[in-house]
Structure 1
């Protein structure tokens, strides 16, 4: 009887445990099926709108002085002295380089000796002529003899003139030995040193006036037909983050000696003090031969970057954020061009007060 009572109580306890466990499981299942309500993220949105943007040609260039002189010599000789160095200011007419004139001194001495000898022969020929002229007039000499001494005098006169011209040539060479600056400006390059052998046409110094700078670009054959004289351009100086207006002033007629690229010079409407020769620039000019393109510009701050991918969060009809991948174009200030991935009048998120991810509900401020 006691054993039967214990078995009955054990069964009752097991039944109670099963009831409790079943109730607990039902409660857990009910809780898990209850959706979690997410708090919406406060965001600021922007509205994309398309604009008609003209096509542009962009090429790299460099600022150079409009007035540049390469100083060279017209004679051969050792460089005795270069009076100025890179960065020095010079004035037009100042002597910059001295070429050794020892050879010229010897040549001048020879020429002067030739002049003295020619003059002595001239004086002798003159005396002979005077004597035979008197003899001819007194019928003591023949006409043939007078003609001979006359010819000898003319030859002596010619030798004197030739010797004097040779001296002038040597004196000109002395002038070439003292090389003067053709312009006022600054020495920007030194291509030789004292003691070097100079030869005719060999550059020794380069001088830039520094008064006016211009942009110089090399345009490929595929685009040169689009470049016109006096065409307005924008010259963007990268190091200064500054854009200066300009216009095309010179187009090279040939690219034979410039690797198939045409040299184009652009004058600048402004000459700010901070711009310097040698600064790199980007020359931007409108392409007259192309149609306008429909583009979108959005702030750079709205762009989401993941590795090499770029995108932006847009807001769908359910007011939820969705990440949209984009293909971007060129930048202008703090705006960037969207080539694809965004449609007209579509809302995108500029900034958010919380973490954004696909599907998170948003509310506009």
Structure 2
């Protein structure tokens, strides 16, 4: 049976538990009340403010913008040229180096022409002998024709003289062709530039043996440059000949507006891309191999934009103040691309929202 002292202790313990429970409930209610007024809708950062400052307002817009894609490529010559020898001869001199500008007809390479000059002299000697034979045969043919008319020679003798004349004429023609060939070969001993352009690479050195068809000097035509771009295959249906291109060459810092002139139909299986070509102007300090970027429009998209002066920074967050039903809401926003004096809004605003402009808050952005 409990003693009076035990009952007193139990009563005190119950009162303590009741008091502790009441205090806990009170604290919980206070915490709920403290949190409830500050809880905000998604996108809001603080309580709504009733007082609207005297600042200009702007409207959040829904705009249709072109979809621009950037691809990379390089500058190339539309007419790559390899100056080669047409004859087999030893190289005696190469008069150009990589980077040299050359004119059409300028000497690039000289070959050993001693043997060629001897061949020309030999052909010319044979031509002279054939011409002498032709002169004698011509005189014989005229004499035998006169004698045959008077009946002094037989028909067979006349025919033999006429055949000798014709044979001599054929040998003269043959010798004349041999002279032309020998002289052409002598001209081939000097390799000339076929265009106005720039030397990209010399592929031989003096003392080397030049063989027919083997390139000696590689050039490019400065008046026939183009950009070659690697376009991802997912854009195959979006590009077509005549489409405008904006090309930027980082090395020169220059930009060019051109149009697609050629699309290579075969795709590169390793890079999953295909080649697109477009002409570039000449005389712009462009050289084959330079890196280039190109952008073009492949469609359009609808985006939400807001004036940049409406954006305020709160720590690492971008915020705007929105006027809604006569009150102000501070909202956190997610931003995208800068579009001049406006900026793309990815989340936090809707078209038609009115925002407060605050150029002071955006100074230095």
Using the TM superposition, give the Cα deviation of residue 179 of structure 1 relative to its aligned residue in structure 2, in angstroms.
1.8
Q: CA RMSD in A?
A: 5.2
Give runs of aligned pairs for residues 179-194 of structure 1, distance below 5 A: 179-194=191-206
1:284 to 2:310 alignment: no
Contact 2:241 2:259 in 1 (8 A): no
1:173 to 2:185 alignment: yes
Using the TM superposition, give the Cα deviation of residue 154 of structure 1 relative to its aligned residue in structure 2, in angstroms.
0.4
SS of the equivalent of 2:247 reads: strand
Could you say if the C-alpha distance between residues 342 and 186 of structure 1 is closer, same or farther in structure 2, counting changes exceeding 3 Å? farther
2:167 to 155, 174, 181: 155
Q: After superposition, what is the alpha-carbon deviation per residue over 1:189-237, rounded to whole angstroms, capped at 9, x for unaligned? A: 32332233333343332334546754333555962773233x3221133
1:295 to 287, 296, 303: 303
SS of the equivalent of 1:54 reads: strand
Number of the residue aligned with 1:228:
241
SS of the equivalent of 1:173 reads: helix
Q: After superposition, what is the alpha-carbon deviation per residue over 1:138-186, rounded to whole angstroms, capped at 9, x for unaligned? A: 4221112201210111011111111111111111122222122233333
TM-score, normalising length: structure 1: 0.62
Give runs of aligned pairs for residues 62-101 of structure 1, distance below 5 A: 62-64=74-76, 69-101=81-113
The 10-residue stretch of structure 1 (67-76 or 277-286) with the greater mean CA deviation from structure 2: 67-76
Number of the residue aligned with 2:152:
140
TM-score, normalising length: structure 2: 0.62
Could you say if the C-alpha distance between residues 214 and 342 of structure 1 is closer, same or farther in structure 2, counting changes exceeding 3 Å? farther
Number of the residue aligned with 2:41:
none
SS of the equivalent of 2:294 reads: strand
Using the TM superposition, give the Cα deviation of residue 265 of structure 1 relative to its aligned residue in structure 2, in angstroms.
1.9
Contact 2:106 2:193 in 1 (8 A): yes
Q: After superposition, what is the alpha-carbon deviation per residue over 1:90-143, rounded to whole angstroms, capped at 9, x for unaligned? A: 223221111222442343244234324423433443354344334323422111
Give runs of aligned pairs for residues 308-347 of structure 1, distance below 5 A: 343-344=349-350
Give distance in 2, aligned partners of 1:145 and 1:266: 73
Question: Which structure 2 segments of 5+ residues have no match?
Answer: 1-22, 36-45, 47-57, 359-365
SS of the equivalent of 2:180 reads: helix
1:108 to 2:120 alignment: yes
Number of the residue aligned with 1:21:
none
Question: Which structure 1 segments of 5+ residues have no match?
Answer: 1-25, 41-45, 305-309, 352-365
Contact 1:234 1:285 in 2 (8 A): yes
Could you say if the C-alpha distance between residues 319 and 241 of structure 1 is closer, same or farther in structure 2, counting changes exceeding 3 Å? farther
Could you say if the C-alpha distance between residues 319 and 184 of structure 1 is closer, same or farther in structure 2, counting changes exceeding 3 Å? same
The 10-residue stretch of structure 1 (174-183 or 314-323) with the greater mean CA deviation from structure 2: 314-323
Using the TM superposition, give the Cα deviation of residue 85 of structure 1 relative to its aligned residue in structure 2, in angstroms.
0.6
Give distance in 1, aligned partners of 2:267 and 2:185: 33
Contact 2:267 2:275 in 1 (8 A): no
Contact 2:96 2:199 in 1 (8 A): yes
Could you say if the C-alpha distance between residues 319 and 262 of structure 1 is closer, same or farther in structure 2, counting changes exceeding 3 Å? closer
Give distance in 1, aligned partners of 2:97 and 2:305: 51
Contact 2:84 2:215 in 1 (8 A): yes
Could you say if the C-alpha distance between residues 164 and 232 of structure 1 is closer, same or farther in structure 2, counting changes exceeding 3 Å? same
1:237 to 2:243 alignment: no
Could you say if the C-alpha distance between residues 218 and 193 of structure 1 is closer, same or farther in structure 2, counting changes exceeding 3 Å? farther
SS of the equivalent of 2:105 reads: coil
